[in-house]
Amino acid sequence: MFKDILEKIVADCSGSIGAVLMGYDGIGIDHYSTDVNQLDLNLVGIEYSNVLKEIRNAADILKIGMLDEVSIKTEKYYIIIHTLTDEYFVTLLVNRNGNYGQGRYLLMREAPALRQLLV
């Protein structure tokens, strides 16, 4: 179910290495990776779930609306995090030579299908 959608996102995004569906509690629901030796996607999700909680709290305090998406650019990767519900988010890792914009689009495109499966 979830893995099929995550695999589709990764397959359709040039330069992506994996995607993970995770709860804000740090518990991974499912993931798909093209290279198991590169990066532990669950660990990425766990680490960024704490950061996302802080960003959500700041948005709430500032009354600027719900968090929708966060992008992080590191030396090696683009990390695109898309909120699905109050409890879940999906993260896509894209190599720096990959297509960041395409990754954002694919996460937005597949978000409704992931939300529907989470119900």
Tokens (6 digits) for 102: 């395409």
pLDDT digits 0-9 by tens, 46-81: 888 888 889 999 999 999 998 999 999 999 999 999
Write down all domains in the chain, each with its CATH number in brackets: 2-118 (3.30.450.30)
- Which segments within 1-119 are labelled E, that is strand? 16-23, 28-33, 69-73, 77-83, 88-95
**27's torsion region: left (phi>0), alpha (psi -120 to 50) or beta?**
beta
pLDDT at 36: 64
% of the chain surpassing 90 pLDDT = 76
Provide the Cα torsion 3, 50, 27, 32; round to 10°: 20
pLDDT at 37: 61
pLDDT at 45: 81
